[in-house]
Chain A
């Protein structure tokens, strides 16, 4: 009984951490920069396909592909940011949504053209597969790896945004652009870097998600709903909020699917509605 409970808790939390890694970048771009970036999933997909291409075509080890996935997605996003996004920083939400959803559909078509519509098979190295058994308890190794990765990312993000000079600059630019400019901050540059960071995290999430969720061109759209839920419920611009919300949602999803499978897929949305009625700006929103 306890073993089962712990096992479900663990699986759910790991699933939540995967959602967190996928969504935290969106929390940065949507929450901090106030840009409705529906193409977040497309950046995640870039990371996923880069990782797959390196592994399956060039024989790279899985772990080595992760930083490359981060960099590739970041670089790709910088190009888009310079060419397209920056023109719409002051545009309405609708314009931003239309632009970014357009990018999503184009990315799906491009991925289907280049990589085909099929699922990309992935085989992880042996040390990331299987289970660790501790008495009555047993834990999936990859899920453990996901949790550790998410914790490291959270730590780095919190430190980076709250205790470093760059973090202070980002917060200054976001809170009051004119003042920041007046103080001599290069707002353009800071925004570009912030955007690259958010998208890079998406790329990393995409690479981490291939194993449990698979990868095909539809990835760019498929998980967008979950990402938006995490950001909306967690509260914009809150790294901690995204962390706790993603963890909570993962656990709720797994528990409800285990105990009440006939409506299990639905409970997640009920909880979301309830939380948003309780706190419309997000559970962990600052204001």
Chain B
């Protein structure tokens, strides 16, 4: 027996012994590399065959291949054994342990109502519009048929910003409603105008459970040649049924706003509200755009009619979810935010 044959036999015994004691896959991979890998010992013997005398080559070569194959089979068998052992262990895993999650964050509940509102109005061909939070008196009041001597200005107690007044548009203020977006849009575009304007508004209110000096509104405006109260009712009903539930009942009540004539308040009744013991909930204001407003934006006299509506998001969220303190919306307790 040549030296190489001797070496092969030793390697085989050595490898088989090591294999028997190998208990994990990582060690197995190392062993495999050590004996039959590219740089392995058995592989090295096979590479050395070329240096043997011609008559020894077939015999030793046969043996070397035999050893390599035997070991390869043994390694494969051992690998399977180990793997099935692991999968057996895994099958005994405590599946009641909590899952490993990548928790999603939540949108603020007011954002969710904004986004849902925009989605619904886009289905009806409305575009989204925006305007500044610092407005001037003309855009916020005068153009909306609320001149400075009008008692309606008392209803909205206004916060004025410490800036020099605009030469033409008057003092700067925090907008008390999203309605100036109507004015800005109509100044830029001729009808048809169909817009929805979500935004933040401000009032000089002391914060308490039901008042916040900062809150949010959505404004809608539709102007065209012959827009009517019937169109207004159709749109408002469609919207609230989509947003709240198909069972929502909508009631219009005559009211007054300087910028619409006739004006209405919108009351809603849903099974959800009724379950909370409230028959009708006053939720929004609306009406047909006052001719003075069309005049302010320079639309020709009598050419167009239109409607506008607006509602407060906080109030809607509060009645919908049964939230009794408006301050929760700006406190940002994650236990609150995670519920929506």
A and B co-occur in one complex = no
B-side residues, CB < 8 A to A, are none
A-side residues, CB < 8 A to B, are none
